[in-house]
Amino acid sequence: MRVAIDARMARITGIGRYTDELVTGLELEGLKPTVFVSPGDAAWWHHRHPHLPYRIAPESIYSWSEQLIFPSRLMREHFDVVHFTNFNVPLAYRRPFVVTIHDTIPLQYSGERRRSGLSRQAYQRVIRSALARAQRVIVPSMMVKEELAQLGDVSHVGVVMHGIGETFLGPVTERSCASAVFSRLKIEAPYILYVGNDRSHKNIEQLIRAFGQARTALASGQLVLAGPTSPHRGLVLRHMVEELDLDRSVRFCANPDDATLTALYDGARALVVPSLVEGFGLPALEAAARGTLVIASETTPVREFLHDAVLTFNPLDADQLANTIVVAWHNQKIRTTLGQKGRAYALRRDWQMVARETIQLYERAQVGRLL
């Protein structure tokens, strides 16, 4: 079976990690897909996967060239199946394909004004078209499948939850290494941790607000916000921190590498997922694999994989989140019990398992939706 994978987003936050880890799992399963990468990622990708064939695809995501030129580039090689690792399947691509739709956030939450070549109306058309035309659709949670059911037929949609990468399966970070990370980032343990980007649906303002309310009960505790920030959103969040007089208590850590991220998970009292909506919540799975307690918004699918090992809250209620943080901070028994249980749940999934389930969907895609 000749499979191609669209990896033009291979270095973009969660989608990038998904693509990279999936391809690693596919290699372990004996499948060697041809991977299409953007020009700036080619050297990095070849270093990561030296034994895989790859092609340069200069067509930018969410652009007109993606719609008009990229389909021809793919169709020249007559692949049995093409896997688009995000919803942006070119409308002109008419051969068998599988698409991963990670979430429906832009369809239900406006967020910031889109600055891409695609208008919001075109975006909606593309995602609906991908759902309708794909031989198989992969989603990371039942919550996303239920949301897609509002848009069309989901009989061909399969839930394939994410897995844990090798990076997060190692021993606890050595004290000297952790100290070096904390010193570099000016972090003082213990702390509450957030991992993710800064888009509006992530609800980081509510987390900062709740932390401010809980601060007096946390003594010298800090809030660490780890992940990429846009210039505008970064300014908004930093201004809020200043207004709430939290300058000394909130730390920003932009684009942490995996070693730094592992150390941050290990040193946290709890990881908070404050989002209004999510497709999965990979940081929650990673933190749980490290034995760290997870506090998650009840409007995210985190309970689908951590079950009863997570503390939940209403993401619109800052008081409730503040109280939950205080409980987690002071109650070591809860942290230990739920941390151990969460780790057991998290370790049930690895990326090779994800790859096996994905290959099954590739095989079904070859013969259409009837199988």
User: Per the confidence metrics, is the pTM higher than 0.75?
Assistant: yes
Residue 107 has pLDDT above 80, yes or no: no
Burial level of 344, CB count in 10 A (0-12/13-18/19+)? middle
Cβ atoms of 33 and 83 within 8 Å: the answer is yes
Average pLDDT in the 146-159 region?
Answer: 94
Banded pLDDT at 11 (limits 50, 70, 90): confident
CATH of the domain spanning 3-163+350-370:
3.40.50.2000
The CATH T-level fold of domain 166-346 is: Rossmann fold (3.40.50)
Q: At 138, phi and psi to the nearest 5? A: -105, 130
By the 10 Å C-beta count (0-12 exposed, 13-18 middle, 19+ buried), 283 is classed as buried
Q: Domain coordinates of the chain in residue numbers?
A: 3-163+350-370, 166-346
Strand partners, 273: 296
* Token representation of residue 245: 């007089």
d(CA 266, CA 316): 28
Convert the pLDDT of each residue in 94-104 to its tens digit.
999 999 999 98
DSSP string over 193-261 = EEES---GGG-HHHHHHHHHHHGGGGTT-EEEEES---HHHHHHHHHHHHHTT-TTTEEEE-S--HHHH
Two domains, one topology: 3-163+350-370 and 166-346: yes
> Sheet containing 34-37: which strands, arranged edge to edge?
54-56, 34-37, 3-6, 81-84, 97-100, 136-139, 157-159
What is the share, in percent, of the chain residues with pLDDT greater than 90? Answer: 81
Distances in Å between the alpha carbon of 232 and those of 97, 113, 206, 311?
37, 12, 18, 31
Q: pLDDT tens for residues 242-293?
A: 999 999 999 999 989 999 999 999 999 999 999 999 999 999 999 999 999 9
